[in-house]
Structure 1
Amino acid sequence: MPDAAHELTPHTSTEAGIRCHALLPCAGTGSRAGTEVPKQYQPILGLPMVLHTLVALRAVLRLDRLVVVVAPGDDFWALGYPGVTALRCGGGTRAQSVFNGLQALLDQGTDPADWVLVHDAARCLITATMVNALIDACQHDPVGGLLAIPLPDTLKAEAHGRVTTTVDRAGKWLAQTPQMFRLGALHAALAATASQGFAGVTDEASAMEMAGHRPLLVPGSTRNFKITYPDDFALAEAVFRSRA
């Protein structure tokens, strides 16, 4: 895995003894992306997408550990990558993979008071600046929060392929990742929904909301989009080239 230059901008440290861990669920197939391999391993400019993501996260000095949660039979991580811990406990859904990863960290003795930043492997355009902004905003918050952007477009509700109404977009945000919460609190929130198959859990913030918490919204960036469809790969390449 290529080395990444650490960001030089100083940032406030998290509380003494409390660590930050990045966790990437990486056990999905990404069927909508139309790739022959799981989309997280699809090359972008010659490098598998997930490694672009990890290069960016490695540049965040306050992240103590980078963890990927992969399927038990995933051979991609057989040789290992410097500074990355692969946990072979991925589940059939994203929520299951995150829950299993958190459980593994707790089983290893990780402090439940530590922060965990759950990030989509497919948001490979994340930058250290974005992650540091999230940590700065959340490190002293009683709940934690997530990167998000205010909804910029007109929103329509539909039925049978036709518009039924225009939805007021005021106060509505598009959730992104990372999403940063205390490890123990997030594990408990997910555990409360596990018996129902994590019904209603679409991201970590939704699990925290179901547990009665109100996560903090931290302004993100339109460039922190999730690669989902085939055309998204070309757009991501264009953004990487513009940075170069």
Structure 2
Amino acid sequence: MKQDNIPLAVVVPAAGVGKRMQATCPKQYLQIAKQAIIEHTVLRLLEHPQIVKVIIALGGQDEYFSDTQLASHPAIEIVTGGVERVDSVLVGLKSLDAKLFPWVLVHDAARPCVTIDDIEALISSCLANKEGGILAAPVKDTMKRSASGLISKTVERDNLWHALTPQMFQTVQLTAAIEAALESNAIITDEASAIEFVGGKCHLVEGSSDNIKITRPDDLALAEFILTKQQLLSATAEPQE
């Protein structure tokens, strides 16, 4: 099978409650343009022709997903997530047949603005290099390290990147890396950190600044603005021959 025809799966951890949003429901179910954030996110992922399966790890007491249009989507599978994000990702990975899906992406439920161009760039890079990679954005601002609320040091921003998602790795490799990291009680903040823990390689693929993560209340309005802008650009784009 040619690389550009390899079917891909995405694991979307969505078991969190999003306390920093100060909302009455988990943040992935807050509405933007009459759709839940998670609906925007997952439907955007499925726009890529190679992504044929999305595994969503939900909280055990989730009361909202069944009301979304995703609940009856044939390309979506639901699993019960764990206490931490990494636990939910591992459950999703273990539900995959690695022979059918030798490569897997992991994407945050609260990143609805990721572009198809960025997803394509990541997939192409990983398959061409035969190694995993992540979308990332170079740090633009001056970075400060603090101690007790005071600046302790200015951190050189050269070669510093913001880690984004999706992140893409070989399914067997990522599963084994997460299991090894958890067994050693290592701190795993994203999939790349698990790969780093076991000494694996991970490429950086520069992504668009549109790809924000909705974390705080102000982010909701920004995401709505970005999605509206993207829709307008898509509507006015000239059809390709």
TM-score normalised over the length of structure 2 = 0.88
CA distance in 1, matches of 2:75, 2:4: 24
Alignment match of 2:166 (pick from 172, 178, 185): 178
Contact 2:192 2:202 (C-alpha < 8 Å) held by counterparts: yes
Amino acid at match of 2:82: G
Contact 1:25 1:90 (C-alpha < 8 Å) held by counterparts: yes
CA distance in 1, matches of 2:178, 2:149: 34
For 1:6, the equivalent position in structure 2 comes to: none
* 1:41-120 pair list within 5 angstroms: 41-78=29-66, 80-105=71-96, 109-111=97-99, 114-120=102-108
1:15 Cα deviation from its structure 2 partner: 6.0
For 1:215, the equivalent position in structure 2 comes to: 202
Cα 1:95–1:112 change in 2 (3 A) is farther
Structure 1 unaligned regions, length at least 5: 1-12
Contact 2:98 2:172 (C-alpha < 8 Å) held by counterparts: no
Cα 1:226–1:45 change in 2 (3 A) is same
Amino acid at match of 2:90: F
Cα 1:142–1:242 change in 2 (3 A) is closer
Amino acid at match of 1:202: T
Amino acid at match of 1:162: L
CA distance in 1, matches of 2:220, 2:31: 9
1:194 Cα deviation from its structure 2 partner: 2.2
Deviating above 6 A after TM superposition, structure 1's stretches of 4 or more consecutive aligned residues are: none
For 2:117, the equivalent position in structure 1 comes to: 129
1:54 Cα deviation from its structure 2 partner: 1.3
Measured on the aligned residues, the alpha-carbon RMSD in Å equals 1.7
User: How many percent identity over aligned positions?
Assistant: 37
CA distance in 2, matches of 1:19, 1:84: 12
Equivalent pairs, count = 227
Report whether the alignment pairs 1:168 with 2:159: no
1:22 Cα deviation from its structure 2 partner: 1.1
Secondary structure, in 3 states, of the residue corresponding to 1:175? strand
CA distance in 1, matches of 2:155, 2:4: 41
Report whether the alignment pairs 1:26 with 2:17: no
Cα 1:203–1:71 change in 2 (3 A) is same
Structure 2 unaligned regions, length at least 5: 233-241
1:196 Cα deviation from its structure 2 partner: 4.3
1:77 Cα deviation from its structure 2 partner: 3.4
CA distance in 1, matches of 2:167, 2:90: 14
Amino acid at match of 1:195: E
CA distance in 2, matches of 1:78, 1:41: 11
CA distance in 2, matches of 1:81, 1:219: 34
1:113 Cα deviation from its structure 2 partner: 6.3
For 2:221, the equivalent position in structure 1 comes to: 234
Deviations 1:31-53 (A, max 9, x none): 11111100001111111000001
Report whether the alignment pairs 1:14 with 2:3: yes
Contact 1:29 1:37 (C-alpha < 8 Å) held by counterparts: yes
Cα 1:129–1:84 change in 2 (3 A) is same
Contact 2:79 2:91 (C-alpha < 8 Å) held by counterparts: no
Deviations 1:48-75 (A, max 9, x none): 0000011211110011211111123323
Secondary structure, in 3 states, of the residue corresponding to 1:125? coil
More helix by share: 2
CA distance in 2, matches of 1:213, 1:152: 27
CA distance in 2, matches of 1:104, 1:75: 22
Amino acid at match of 2:137: I
